A and B are shown apart, each in its own frame.
Chain A
């Protein structure tokens, strides 16, 4: 079965750039999306179709996808961005999530 691999944790200082990777076999041939989840809340879509932002998502969130790796980049990271982030892609008609990355802003 298809797998997506994320680092368990990433740390960043406020105002700096955070990058979270998601790796999968030929992931660049698929569309990837990213979800943000804060404690006690439902996931929120922050990037879809590799690099598009839904309405209401700040411009500091961006995404890319090439080769075997999709990347979520948060520029000028704010303390409110501290959360768990999950990548997701489709493998045929199955949905696959990455294991999640805890972003710490300190």
Chain B
């Protein structure tokens, strides 16, 4: 069974940093592109970052230069290093698996990040 389990969320002050982790199991992690998607409470889904099987990262303009996605295939783990956090980054962050460029077929339960003083 495919499982994605996020961790590392919490309360952080504006300007601070946080590192999210996603532990993957039930599939060959190294052969899938992986993504982070976030959702502000009561709002829609927003793509945050992606990393392909070669380790190349991709970001939207809203987080480029502040967030860094990485993966450690030996540990079946995905990470998101978030720096210079702002109130607008407050959201639930989901780890998700992309399959074949067609969609995200598995999602974690999400981890809540709250940026507040």
Contacts and interface: CB of A to CB of B under 8 A. Distances in A.
B45 A100 contact: yes
A95 B35 contact: yes
Interface in A15-72: 31, 33, 35, 37, 42-45, 48-49, 52, 54
Contacts, number: 55
B44 A97 contact: yes
Q: DSSP class of A's interface residues: helix, strand, loop or mixed?
A: strand
B60 interface: yes
Interface of B: 35, 37, 44-47, 50, 58, 60-61, 94, 99, 101-105, 107-110
Given A42-B107, A42-B110, A93 B50 contact: yes
Given A94-B60, A95-B35, A95-B50, A43 B101 contact: no
Interface string A67-106: 0000000000000000000101010011111111000000
Interface of A: 1, 31, 33, 35, 37, 42-45, 48-49, 52, 54, 86, 88, 90, 93-100
